[in-house]
Chains A and B, each alone.
Chain A
Amino acid sequence: MLTDITIGQFFPGASALHRMDPRAKLLLLLVLMAAIFVFDTPGGYAALTGLAVALAVSSGVPLSMYLRSLRPLWWILAFTFLIHLCATPGEVFFHIWIFDMTKEGLTRGFFLCLRLALLILFSSLLTFTTSPLSLTDGMERLLRPLKVVGVPAHELAMMMTIALRFVPTLIEETDTIMKAQQSRGADFSTGNALKRVRHLIPILVPLFISSFRRADELATAMEARCYRGGEGRTRMKELHVGGVDYAAAGATALLLAAMGAMKAAGF
């Protein structure tokens, strides 16, 4: 049951988004996220929503996956909408008990929710079309200039890589430990919340101990294969910024310029 968990939620494919360099994708994501906050006009939202939908369709990832990525935020979206609906002063169109729902609140709540949803959608576009490994690679490259101020870019990326590598291994191990405990009469599925949390301890303790042992052995194995940190290290798969990336950057710049003009014109 635990082995069903997938991490990273990457969908392999060959779309333009898939072929882009992870660094370009990360940077453009940041630009678009900033744009969501800068262009807070109906015209700006329309343009960005259109872009998100167009990219989602072109990515070849099942569209239901994008909707599913919004699901964890469902409550926050609903809550935000209700707060704005009821707390914005203006023309009251509906009254219930002590709550005054205003037209202004309706539009404000709607746009705020749209803004949140767009943030999630654009991030999903990145994670769905980029393998976790090239994502960490991209992050390492982007963080590299920050090394001078003490950001351990290589170490962070190596930690991420190893963590991703060991997720399935540790999930399998958790499963084994749970079965071992169950075979000796442990009960994980009944009792109140507190009791259930207490039942996790006999799973977590052996899992932690074995993780430390694994870490120790892995460190020895890495040393045996000449690992000595990021200094002087080369990569088999070098990242290449290609035509797709320049095209995407150009298109984004054009879009932003157009939106800037629209905002200046008052749309």
Chain B
Amino acid sequence: MAFIEIEDLCFAYPSERDERRMALDHVNLSVEEGEFIAVLGTNGSGKSTLAKHLNAILLPTSGVCRVAGMDTRDGAHLWDVRQTVGMVFQNPDNQIIAAIVEDDVAFGPENLGVPSDEIRRCVNEALTAVGMTAFQGFAPHLLSGGQKQRVAIAGTLAMRTKCLVLDEPTAMLDPVGRKEVLDTVRRLHRESGITVIYITHFMEEAAAAQRVVVMEGGKVVEDGSPKEIFCRVDAMRKRGLDVPLAAEIAWRLRKQGIRLPEDIVTDEELAVALCR
């Protein structure tokens, strides 16, 4: 059994119930423990709606969403589901609750009723994991966007979450902050084997994932490795999406008759292929 199992998941927002278009339309997806998945799609493709199903903020209109074997509609497991899957949202300002960094990271474990010395340990570990220990006494408004998102990640890690769902965590950040966040997520995935579901508009970030899922109109339309997805430049263009710059350059060079392998996604791969 997979870690996250989504079967025939349909969801319509209450006000749209009569209309035919559904936010999620018979989505099937399974995620193994320890995977790093990037989810791509234009605005309104259902990415965020899908993400909110993973920790039971939204419940399926029909179909099933199971996390670690627990049905998200089962009220008895609601808090277990939310502890298992942590969420990081787009706007860093609107997800920090406390006026001091360490208090904010402690918010999750406090809600779970963890004893106070144990919370202190969780908080210290979480802050170390995202490299924010030096800022534990800071007020959140003094941090940069990237630092705030790292605090938000620490807030979920402190709950000993097994899976991290990030909903466009870098959309409001500058390039430095974007790199900070992505590097942190990649390191957590590599070192602690945490499952990552990373929603993004930045193709370079998606190229860092092991698997890419493309959504359109509430459906999963593509599902494969970054190489499989990004070599089909035309298909991606048609869906209103870009591909990583390296993949696009390689594609254009191939069209000009230069012989390059089909599976170039990262800058390094392009450089190596060109130098050969």
Q: Which residues of A come within 8 Å of B, CB atoms?
A: 132-133, 161-162, 164-165, 168-169, 172, 213-214, 217-218, 220-228, 232-238
Query: Is there an interface contact between A227 and B113, defined as CB atoms closer than 8 Å?
Result: no
Tell me whether B245 is interfacial, beta carbon within 8 Å. no
Query: Is there an interface contact between B97 and A161, defined as CB atoms closer than 8 Å?
Result: yes
| Residues of B contacting A164 in the complex (Cβ-Cβ under 8 angstroms) | 99
Query: Is there an interface contact between A165 and B107, defined as CB atoms closer than 8 Å?
Result: no
A204 to chain B minimum Cβ distance, whole angstroms, is 20
The one of A169, A217, A232, A236 in contact with B106, judged by C-beta atoms closer than 8 angstroms, is A236
* Residue in chain A with minimal CB distance to B54: A224
Query: Is there an interface contact between A226 and B83, defined as CB atoms closer than 8 Å?
Result: yes
Query: Is there an interface contact between A226 and B79, defined as CB atoms closer than 8 Å?
Result: yes
Q: Which residues of B come within 8 Å of A, CB atoms?
A: 52, 55, 57, 79, 82-83, 86-87, 89, 91, 93-100, 102-103, 106-116, 119-120, 123, 139-141, 155-156, 159
Query: Is there an interface contact between B94 and A225, defined as CB atoms closer than 8 Å?
Result: no
| Residues of B contacting A221 in the complex (Cβ-Cβ under 8 angstroms) | 87, 89, 94-95, 97
| Residues of B contacting A223 in the complex (Cβ-Cβ under 8 angstroms) | 57, 82
| Residues of A contacting B156 in the complex (Cβ-Cβ under 8 angstroms) | 225
Query: Is there an interface contact between B116 and A236, defined as CB atoms closer than 8 Å?
Result: yes
| Residues of A contacting B87 in the complex (Cβ-Cβ under 8 angstroms) | 221, 224
| Residues of A contacting B89 in the complex (Cβ-Cβ under 8 angstroms) | 217, 220-221, 224
Query: Is there an interface contact between A218 and B97, defined as CB atoms closer than 8 Å?
Result: yes
Query: Is there an interface contact between A165 and B108, defined as CB atoms closer than 8 Å?
Result: no
Query: Is there an interface contact between B111 and A225, defined as CB atoms closer than 8 Å?
Result: yes
CA distance A202 to B112 in the complex (A): 42
The one of B83, B99, B115, B116 in contact with A237, judged by C-beta atoms closer than 8 angstroms, is B116
* Residue in chain A with minimal CB distance to B85: A224
Given contact pairs A236-B102, A236-B120, a sample of 19 additional A-B residue pairs in the complex whose CB atoms are under 8 Å apart: A165-B96, A165-B97, A165-B98, A169-B141, A220-B52, A220-B89, A222-B97, A224-B55, A224-B89, A225-B107, A225-B111, A225-B159, A226-B83, A227-B107, A228-B111, A232-B113, A234-B114, A234-B116, A235-B116
CA distance A214 to B91 in the complex (A): 9
A6 to chain B minimum Cβ distance, whole angstroms, is 11
Query: Is there an interface contact between B159 and A226, defined as CB atoms closer than 8 Å?
Result: yes
- 25 pairs across A/B with beta carbons < 8 Å? A132-B99, A133-B100, A161-B97, A161-B99, A165-B96, A165-B99, A168-B141, A169-B141, A172-B141, A217-B89, A217-B91, A222-B97, A224-B55, A224-B82, A224-B87, A225-B82, A225-B107, A225-B159, A226-B79, A226-B108, A227-B107, A228-B111, A234-B114, A234-B119, A236-B116
* Residue in chain B with minimal CB distance to A225: B108
* Residue in chain B with minimal CB distance to A210: B94
The one of A218, A226, A227 in contact with B94, judged by C-beta atoms closer than 8 angstroms, is A218
Query: Is there an interface contact between B155 and A225, defined as CB atoms closer than 8 Å?
Result: yes
Query: Is there an interface contact between A236 and B57, defined as CB atoms closer than 8 Å?
Result: no
Query: Is there an interface contact between A227 and B111, defined as CB atoms closer than 8 Å?
Result: yes
Q: 7 smallest A-B Cβ distances: which pairs?
A: A221-B95, A217-B94, A236-B106, A168-B141, A236-B119, A226-B111, A225-B108
CA distance A225 to B79 in the complex (A): 9
Query: Is there an interface contact between A214 and B140, defined as CB atoms closer than 8 Å?
Result: no
| Residues of B contacting A165 in the complex (Cβ-Cβ under 8 angstroms) | 96-99, 140
Query: Is there an interface contact between A233 and B116, defined as CB atoms closer than 8 Å?
Result: no
Query: Is there an interface contact between A238 and B116, defined as CB atoms closer than 8 Å?
Result: yes
B276 to chain A minimum Cβ distance, whole angstroms, is 47
| Residues of A contacting B93 in the complex (Cβ-Cβ under 8 angstroms) | 169, 214
CA distance A224 to B161 in the complex (A): 12
CA distance A232 to B83 in the complex (A): 15
The one of B83, B97, B155 in contact with A162, judged by C-beta atoms closer than 8 angstroms, is B97
| Residues of B contacting A161 in the complex (Cβ-Cβ under 8 angstroms) | 97-99
Query: Is there an interface contact between A218 and B119, defined as CB atoms closer than 8 Å?
Result: no
CA distance A133 to B119 in the complex (A): 18
B13 to chain A minimum Cβ distance, whole angstroms, is 14
CA distance A165 to B94 in the complex (A): 11
CA distance A164 to B139 in the complex (A): 11
Query: Is there an interface contact between A220 and B57, defined as CB atoms closer than 8 Å?
Result: yes
Query: Is there an interface contact between B110 and A217, defined as CB atoms closer than 8 Å?
Result: no
The one of A218, A236, A238 in contact with B123, judged by C-beta atoms closer than 8 angstroms, is A236
CA distance A223 to B113 in the complex (A): 15
